[in-house]
Amino acid sequence: MINKAIYYLLIIGLLTSCGNSNSETKVEESEVIENSTNKVLLSSEVVWEKLNPARGKQSPQAGTIWGDRKGKGAGSIATGFLAKFIDGFSSPPHIHNVTYRAVVIEGMVHNDDPDAENMWMSQGSFWTQPLGESHITSAQGEQIIALVEIDKGPYLVEPSSEAFDSGETPVNIEASNVVWLDNKITNWIDDQSEAEISFLQESNTTNLKSLFVKLPSGYTGTIGTNGTVVHSVVIKGELNYKLPEHNEVKILDEGSYFGSTDKAIHNISNHGKDEAVIYMRTDGKIAVK
């Protein structure tokens, strides 16, 4: 598991690479964007199926949110899906053909080398699993759900006898170790906003980056995005999301999704008692107001 000191260094590196220019991220709240690409998928609309049919009843469930988890050839695209586990689940040692990123939404998850002691990750924890590396995944809780994300399908489970070293290093960040940045540290947040951001990971070969956005109770504002890829999933709490076409308001609970494929304004409010946390994956920048 990556320690907190190293994580601070990663955050500093991400801040440097992301830059401090506001010019590319500025999206005025009053701006009207024609032909908006905003879209929403409620957690109740997710269709579930077996993640690994070969395990029968022991298989976790998978519900695709975007992309195509089974994609091949021309269908090999970035994908995000929810994985649902039963209490006490523990996989045999195995590998995957692709690297994945994941976030705990409900319950507790352990993901590590087969011989490692259990290190349970709670809601809001982030981890990565490099392709080819043998590992196990375990879960505990009344309901256990995680967001799993890959850059290219298909997502396959393969025997650990085929393990290999891809050169990638896994990252495990428990929720209590997440480093939050406010508007005094990053200008991705408006001076008047009490929101916070945590930069989690950025690709060395693309502009794609992963981050958390934390919105306090009582928040009403916008998240402006300019990326051609914007995938967002509610990890904690419940949000009201206003679609721009007809001002229709959707209630996004944990596991619900919103996104866009062009410059967009996402109108969001948090009427709950507690803070809300969103996971975002984008190739652009964001402006939280």
State the pLDDT at residue 74.
56
Same fold, 22-42+178-288 and 46-176: yes
Q: What is the largest CA-CA distance in the chain?
A: 57
The CATH architecture to which 22-42+178-288 belongs is Sandwich (2.60)
Which band of pLDDT confidence, cut at 50, 70 and 90, is reported for residue 75? low
Write the pLDDT tens digit of every residue in 111-142: 999 999 999 999 999 999 999 999 999 999 99
pLDDT (0 to 100) of residue 161: 96
- The pLDDT > 90 percentage for the chain reads 78
Give which of 190, 235, 169 is closest to 2, Cα–Cα: 169
Q: How many CB atoms sit inside 10 A of residue 168's CB?
A: 13
Does 15 score more than 80 pLDDT? no
At 7, the amino acid letter reads Y
Could you report how far apart the first and last alpha carbons of the chain are, in Å? 34
In this prediction the pTM is 0.90
pLDDT(9) > 60: no
Band (21; pLDDT cuts 50, 70, 90): very low
- What's the rounded Cα separation, in Å, for the pair 10 and 184? 19
Question: Per-residue confidence at 163, pLDDT binned at 50, 70, 90?
Answer: very high
**Tokens read off for 161:** 């006898």
Whether the per-residue pLDDT at 6 is higher than 80: the answer is no
* DSSP per-residue codes, 21-89: --TTT---TT---SS---EEE-GGGPPEEESSGGGGGGSPEEEEEES-TT--GGG---EEEEEEE-TT-
pLDDT exceeding 70 applies to what percent of the chain?
87
Q: Where are the domains of the chain?
A: 22-42+178-288, 46-176
Average pLDDT over the chain reads: 89
Q: Residue 15: which residues within 8 A CB-CB, separation 6 or more? A: 181, 185, 186, 199
pLDDT recorded at residue 211: 98
CATH class name, domain 46-176: mainly beta
